[in-house]
């Protein structure tokens, strides 16, 4: 029995509505609802069903709307490290979850252009999560003098710490090293060592010195302060640079300057003109042991 015109129209309408719902749901996942007309044509031309949705997914990256929505897609493809639309969408969803879970305000580093920068810089979601956690730790848990030194050395004030850690142009290990430099500089200020330059603080961080080791080393230098001053005729002050080299770099020449000065003071105190030294000599100043 042949279908009437009304029945045929009804079936076609139902099919169209069903197909439109499928296509619209697919496009909405990517925020590309404006492609509905084009997508419906592509879906039907491919025969609908899974073949239709596959055709849409395959051809969608060539549309101007997709390129605007996922600005990193073409560049990454040219670099030989292409991500599929589904992978990019998954990256964005995971990144948003990371931001929300760590209390990052909505609208802050959660736009397509932001995610594109992370993708282009090859920042994985695992690294992104570590950056966010590090930023929150520094901003919320670091002592004021550490944050003050982060601003003094690198121009990063408290209000921009998160932005600083989320800057994809700066490698994550370098960010951590700079925080360590700020911690070391703070430890120096807490002792008689005073204010370190950026180069001095970074040098210690690059050696692998931790803030705890720096505190111990600067305290030892403070206890030995009398050795560094020119107290007798003919003596010259031992520079801070030499002090640092002996304490942290395990520099033999710098350590020798300490040893000779201590031997001279011992000889003057005991009336001995020789340079013999026992266990109470330079051994009191042990080089800082670096972390593995």
The residue written with tokens 């197909």 in the block is 19
Residue 94 has pLDDT above 70, yes or no: yes
Question: CB–CB of 21/13 below 8 Å?
Answer: no
Q: Which of 227, 228, 117, 124 is nearest to 172 (CA)?
A: 124
Residues 6+ apart with CB under 8 A from 255: 246, 282, 287
Residue 265 has pLDDT above 60, yes or no: yes
- Res. 227 pLDDT band, cuts 50 70 90: low
Res 292: pLDDT: 43
Residue 280 has pLDDT above 60, yes or no: no
Q: Residue 157 is encoded by which pair of tokens?
A: 């004030």
End-to-end CA distance of the chain: 85
Residue 288 has pLDDT above 80, yes or no: no
Q: Residue 197 is encoded by which pair of tokens?
A: 């330059």
Identify the residue with better confidence: 290 or 204.
204
Question: CB–CB of 149/185 below 8 Å?
Answer: yes
Domain ranges of the chain: 59-122, 224-292
- The percent of residues above 90 in pLDDT, for the chain, comes to 50
- Res. 11 pLDDT band, cuts 50 70 90: very low
Question: CB–CB of 263/281 below 8 Å?
Answer: yes
User: What is the pTM (predicted TM-score) of this model?
Assistant: 0.71
pLDDT in tens, 60-75: 999 999 999 999 999 9
pLDDT in tens, 189-219: 998 778 999 999 999 999 999 999 999 988 8
């Amino acid at each position: 029995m042949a279908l009437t015109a009304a029945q045929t129209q009804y079936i076609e309408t139902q099919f169209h509505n069903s197909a439109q719902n499928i296509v619209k749901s697919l496009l909405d996942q990517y925020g590309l609802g404006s492609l509905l007309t084009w997508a419906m044509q592509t879906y039907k031309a491919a025969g609908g069903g899974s073949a239709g949705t596959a055709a849409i997914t395959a051809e969608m990256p060539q549309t101007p709307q997709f390129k605007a929505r996922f600005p990193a897609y073409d560049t990454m493809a040219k670099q030989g490290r292409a991500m599929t639309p589904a992978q990019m969408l998954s990256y964005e969803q995971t990144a948003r979850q990371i931001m929300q879970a760590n209390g990052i305000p909505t609208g802050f580093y959660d736009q397509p252009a932001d995610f594109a920068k992370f993708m282009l810089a090859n920042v994985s979601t695992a690294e992104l999560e570590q950056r966010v956690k590090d930023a929150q730790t520094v901003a919320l848990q670091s002592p004021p003098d550490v944050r003050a030194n982060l601003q003094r050395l690198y121009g990063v004030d408290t209000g921009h710490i998160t932005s600083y850690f989320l800057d994809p142009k700066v490698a994550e290990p370098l960010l951590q090293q700079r925080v360590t430099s700020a911690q070391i500089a703070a430890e120096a200020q807490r002792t008689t060592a005073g204010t370190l330059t950026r180069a001095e603080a970074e040098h210690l961080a690059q050696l692998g010195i931790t803030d705890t080791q720096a505190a111990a080393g600067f305290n030892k230098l403070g206890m030995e302060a009398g050795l560094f001053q020119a107290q007798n005729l003919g003596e010259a002050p031992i520079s801070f640079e030499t002090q640092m080299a002996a304490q942290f770099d395990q520099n033999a020449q710098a350590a020798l300057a300490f040893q000779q000065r201590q031997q001279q003071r011992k000889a003057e105190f005991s009336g001995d003109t020789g340079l013999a030294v026992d266990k109470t000599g330079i051994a009191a100043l042990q080089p800082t042991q670096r972390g593995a």
